[in-house]
Amino acid sequence: MNASELEATARDLVAERKGILAADESSGTIQKRLASIGVESTEHSRRAWRQLLFTTPGIDEYISGVILFDETIRQHANDGRRLVDILTANGVLPGIKVDKGAKPLVGSSSEKVTEGLDGLRARLAEYCDLGARFTKWRAVIAIGPGLPSSHAIAVNADVLARYAALSQEAGLVPIVEPEVLMDGSHDIHRCLEVTSATLRRVFQSLAEQGVHLEGILLKPNMVLSGKDAPTREGPEAVAAATVRCFRRAVPAAVPGIVFLSGGQTDAEATENLDAINRLSADQPWELSFSYGRGLQATPLKVWGGDAANVPAAQAAFQERARLTSAARMGAYEPAMA
């Protein structure tokens, strides 16, 4: 591990105005996304969609890095260049999802633990050779009656830390993603409680396993009311709860917090990120984004699988990136949209 290189990469990923595009949907998830626009998921259609995103003119103005899926890091564009090389040539850092998905946790009827540690050291070495500069691992924590269990939080935190240590050993910046899901009718206070408990346990495991905090990024949920809550809090309350939670649980050594969009609408994901940044001029970390749906949902609809729509879809992606970048600086105005 070269600590100063890890630190420099982590800082580049949260450079001013910039954030991360998560384009690492697993085979099952991308199939659902493409089905939503009536397109069958094939090697060809997945490549066409991701090539459209990565070749968007001026992508590097707002996007610092892209998280890829295993298939994508090996794919070539129509002009024969590797997709990874196109990103790198455009000044965008390629990253890679290295977990193998959340699987049922033994002894629990509904909780999950993320798999993928077996053989990870060898896979990381290969991803390094393929040009990756950073990695991602997602753990999921569900809120519900009697959930989450402290056991599920502990198991996932230990696995996240093991992944982060191996990633740093390989010279790759780990994006540590403990996602507290927004599914359910719980209120924002319950989300605050569970997110705090999860983050505290994750940072305990990271410390125990010797992870270099200056060389990671944290990818968490925002602190939100549940999706089906009778009343859902607006951006100011979300920002207050989110910043309070992170000030209590996330060490100042961490260079950046890159939020996931997690199923929020485009408007919510933008307005909440903006409110968080408006509140947070003096926070110790950069507060940026690592959005999947929040950047892709609109351009995906505009594309609809039709090559004739590529320029319009790229314009829609640029627009989502521009607005999300403004929110990342706390400078978003609805009139910009």
Residue nearest to ligand 13P (CB): 292
Q: Where are the beta strands (DSSP E) in 131-180?
A: 134-141, 173-180
Q: Which of 97, 111, 136, 177 is catalytic?
A: 177
- Residues of this chain that bind ligand 13P (CB under 6 A): 22, 138, 177, 260-262, 291-294
In the complex, least distance from residue 138 CB atom to ligand 13P, rounded to whole angstroms: 4
In the complex, least distance from residue 177 CB atom to ligand 13P, rounded to whole angstroms: 6
Phi, psi of 176 (to 5 degrees): -95, 115
Residues 301, 320 contacting (CB under 8 angstroms): no
Our CB check for ligand 13P shows the closer of 261 and 314 to be: 261
Q: Which of 111, 112, 219, 233 is catalytic?
A: 219
Phi, psi of 202 (to 5 degrees): -65, -45
Residue 43 is among the residues annotated as catalytic for this protein: no
Our CB check for ligand 13P shows the closer of 76 and 100 to be: 100
Residue 18 is among the residues annotated as catalytic for this protein: no
In the complex, least distance from residue 199 CB atom to ligand 13P, rounded to whole angstroms: 16
In the complex, least distance from residue 249 CB atom to ligand 13P, rounded to whole angstroms: 20
Number of neighbouring beta carbons within 10 Å of residue 14: 23
Residues 215, 6 contacting (CB under 8 angstroms): yes
Residue identified by tokens 């540590």 is: 176
Token digits for 186? 């719980």
Nearest 5°: the CA angle 290, 48, 78 is 120
Helix, strand or coil, per DSSP, at residue 184: coil
Bridge partner list, 179:
140
Our CB check for ligand 13P shows the closer of 22 and 161 to be: 22
Catalytic residues: 177, 219
